[in-house]
Amino acid sequence: MDRQTAVLSPLDSPSPVSTRAEKCSEGKRDTEDEGFIKEEERPLPENEFQRKVWLLFEYPESSQNARVVAIISVFVILLSIVIFCLETLPEFKHYKVFNTTTNGTVVEEDEVPEVTDPFFLIETICIIWFSTELLVRFFASPLKGAFLKDVMNIIDIVAIIPYFITLATVVAEEEGEVMVIPAETLSPHEKGSNQAMSLAILRVIRLVRVFRIFKLSRHSKGLQILGRTLKASMRELGLLIFFLFIECQSACVFVCRL
C-alpha cells in the first residue's frame, strides 16, 4: 500500500512538453528583460528575384555575397563619416576673397564646395551607394508602407538629403556667375545679411549628415541593444538631465550675483 501511494499517477506528473514550454517562455522573458533583441518574423517577397535581392541587402548572414555587401556598406558609411570630420579642419576649408571699394579685401569662409574638390567627389560616390542601396531595398521589400515607416529607413533618407541640397547650391552658384545681380542694387548690409543667412542654413543642413552614424546600427547587434537600453531608460535619463539642468542654472545664477 505504501509503495502504491508513493508512486504518482501519470495525470499528477507534469508533462515534459509543458515544462519545456514554460522554460522557453521564461528564457525569452529573461532575454527581453536583459535587453537582447527579439528576432521578429518578417515576411519575405513572393517573387523569387525580389526575395534574393531582399536577402542580399537585408540579411547579411543569409549568404557569402550578402556578407560582402554588408562589409561594403559599413566601409562606405565609415568613409563618409571620416570625410565629414575632415571637412571641419581648418586646413581643408575653402575661403572666398571679395574685393570691396571701401574696406579693401574681405576673406570669408565658403560652405559651397567646388565640383573638383576631392571631398565632394568622395561624398558623391558614397551618396551613389546609399541611394542605390535604399532604392534597391525599397523595390525589393515585401511591405512598401512598413518600409517607409521604419525609423532606420527614415534616417537613411534624411542622411541623403543634405547632399542634394548642396549639389543644387553648387549648380545655382555656377549659374549665378553668368546671371550676376548688380552690386549697386544691394547695400553692403543686405549683402552681408544674405551671405550670413545662407551660410548658417548650409551649415545646419550639412550637420544632418552626422545621422549617418546611426546607419551602422543596421549591421551591429551591439548598437541595437544600446539603443533599446537607452529607450527603456528614457525616464531615468530624463530625470538625470533635469537635475543637471537645475545645477547648471544654479551655478549661472551664483556667478551672476558675484
156 and 173 share a domain?
Answer: yes
Per-residue pLDDT tens digits for 41-66 = 677 778 888 888 888 888 888 888 88
Per-residue confidence (pLDDT) for residue 128, from 0 to 100:
92
241 and 254 share a domain?
Answer: yes
149 and 258 share a domain?
Answer: no
Decide if 248 is inside a domain: yes
Per-residue confidence (pLDDT) for residue 161, from 0 to 100:
86
Please report the DSSP string for 176-233 in residue order.
HTTSPPPGGGS-HHHHHHHHHHHHHHHHHHHHGGGGGGGGGGGG-HHHHHHHHHHHHT
Tally the residues of the chain: 258
pLDDT at position 180 over 60: no
**Long-range Cβ contacts of 187-191 (<8 Å, 24+ apart):** 188/100, 188/102
DSSP 42: -
136 and 245 share a domain?
Answer: no
Q: Which residue has the cell 545645477?
A: 247
Residues of the domain holding 142:
48-219
Per-residue pLDDT tens digits for 59-95 = 888 888 888 988 898 899 899 888 888 887 877 766 5
Q: Regarding predicted confidence, which is higher, 199 or 10?
A: 199
Decide if 208 is inside a domain: yes
Per-residue pLDDT tens digits for 8-31 = 444 444 555 455 545 555 555 555
**pTM to 2 decimal places:** 0.63
Quick check: helix, strand or coil at residue 105?
strand
Average pLDDT over every residue of 143-158: 85
List, in sequence order, the alpha helices (H) in 47-107. 48-58, 64-86
121 and 239 share a domain?
Answer: no
Average pLDDT over every residue of 112-125: 80
Per-residue confidence (pLDDT) for residue 246, from 0 to 100:
92
Per-residue confidence (pLDDT) for residue 57, from 0 to 100:
86
Decide if 211 is inside a domain: yes
142 and 200 share a domain?
Answer: yes
Average pLDDT, the chain: 73
CA distance 7 to 236: 53
Per-residue confidence (pLDDT) for residue 135, from 0 to 100:
92
173 and 231 share a domain?
Answer: no
Structural domains of the chain, count:
2
229 and 178 share a domain?
Answer: no
